[in-house]
Amino acid sequence: MTKQEVVLSENLEQTLTAAMRKVDYDRLFVLTDENTLRLCWPLVSSLACMEEARMITIGATDENKTLESLTHVWTQLQQGGATRHSLMVCLGGGMVTDLGGFAASTFKRGIAYINVPTTLLSMVDASVGGKTGINFGGLKNEIGVFNCADTVILDAEFLHTLDYANLASGYAEMLKHGLISSEENWAELLRFDLQHVDYRALGRLVAKSVAIKERIVEEDPLEHGIRKALNLGHTIGHAFESLAMRENRTVLHGYAVAWGLVCELYLSARRVGFPTDKLHQTATFIREAYGTFPYTCKQYDQLYELMTHDKKNTAGQVNFTLLGNVGDIRINQTATREEIMDVLDFYRESN
């Protein structure tokens, strides 16, 4: 998998034009969802490089990260005359960059695409690293491929279009990056005031967060080793997210990851000695910023069953990334059903 170029943009028109010129395309398509069409496309539509763009729009939210939406994108590309030399710009959050990247990667065996993430979550996580895909059979990201965008353009101007919930959702992935990197970065993230956002300071934190992910992805692009560090919080977080989807109470991905972080740091404390004071500091921040995920003991079996479908699992065992301390990463850790039930007890009773 080739290394993608990630550009921190201060002039979107110049940056996007330069990225598009590198591709030498014949037809240009722009993928948005209904929200980014309304909120973000107006910031882009007047740019000279967008004059000949053909628009493709899908439904917003993760509920639309489906085979039906993917088919719609393929159909629009086909009807728009896309060739193997066409270019698609994915303008949106993680759902758009995931699904759009998968559509581009598979249409005519692959056309070029550029990610312009418009949410904090997609800037620090979804659009960087080459993971693409859709949900399938009630499971998160069940179908997809590794294929990097030609360029990822990060422009902080889009962050002003976000409400609190979407800012917080992206910030959860930044917390994860802090936990797997250094105490300094972790502590800085816990001090940040999500209720009164300093966008300049947030921009600096985004740059640090992206650098952490880029370093890990470059070392292990296909997730055979250290890239699994980026799964911290996701084994249980994805189970929460999938359960919520089943019950038609969809939650934002970052919220599920935040709740999963609390659970998996508790498991880290039990299994590999993660400091309990740091567990409680992190859990307090997450509880105040994200609230809690409600479930009852009657749902334990469903949550466990969802964890058994996680792509990281091997030989039928549920696989976790755990931490011995901040920055002390322990990949390929397994837990028994009893240990997972204990974690679910801890989270439910501590809220």
Where residue 127 falls among pLDDT bands split at 50, 70, 90?
Answer: confident
CATH code of 96's domain: 3.40.50.1970
> Cα separation of 197 and 180, whole Å?
24
> Cα separation of 66 and 206, whole Å?
29
Q: Which of 133, 161, 189 is the last residue of a domain?
A: 161
Regarding whether 299 and 155 lie in a shared domain, the answer is no
Regarding whether 172 and 140 lie in a shared domain, the answer is no
Domain that holds residue 35: 5-161
Regarding whether 248 and 149 lie in a shared domain, the answer is no
Q: Convert the pLDDT of each residue in 296-323 to its tens digit.
A: 999 999 999 999 988 788 877 899 999 9
In residues, how long is the chain?
351
Check residue 146 and report its DSSP letter. B
User: Looking at the predicted structure, is the pLDDT value of residue 1 above 60?
Assistant: no
- 292 Cβ contact partners less than 8 Å away, ≥ 6 residues apart: 259, 347, 351
Regarding whether 95 and 40 lie in a shared domain, the answer is yes
Number of domains in the chain: 2
Q: Contact 244/255 with Cβ under 8 angstroms?
A: no
Where residue 3 falls among pLDDT bands split at 50, 70, 90?
Answer: low
Query: What sign results for the dihedral spanned by CA atoms 327, 209, 117, 86?
Result: negative
Where residue 15 falls among pLDDT bands split at 50, 70, 90?
Answer: very high
Query: Which amino acid type is present at position 134?
Result: I
* % of residues, the chain, pLDDT over 70: 99
CATH code of 278's domain: 1.20.1090.10
| Nearest alpha carbon to residue 133 among 107, 104, 91, 98 | 98
Query: Which amino acid type is present at position 266?
Result: Y
